[in-house]
Amino acid sequence: MNNLMWWGYLHQNGTIHVKRWFGDHKDYTEDCEGNEFVQRVVPPFVAASRDQAINIITKRLSQP
């Protein structure tokens, strides 16, 4: 398995945004901090593909 890292967030309009993470903490905190459109953030995690990352983020966002 490759070690691709991803993170994502739930936009206020209900869409899920998935992004690659390259190890810099600022990549995801600066995109989200103070952004009124970001409802919930899923911090970086490993997934083999974008499709798998979408599934993981969707599952994590469905948890309280």
pLDDT digits (tens, 9 = 90+) for 15-41: 999 999 988 767 667 778 788 999 999
Mean pLDDT, residues 47-62: 96
- Give the pLDDT score at 9: 93
What's the whole-number average pLDDT of the chain?
89
pTM higher than 0.85: no
- Give the pLDDT score at 11: 95
Q: Tell whether the model's pLDDT for residue 48 goes beyond 70.
A: yes
Separation of alpha carbons 1 and 11, rounded Å:
30
Separation of alpha carbons 44 and 7, rounded Å:
4
Separation of alpha carbons 11 and 23, rounded Å:
22
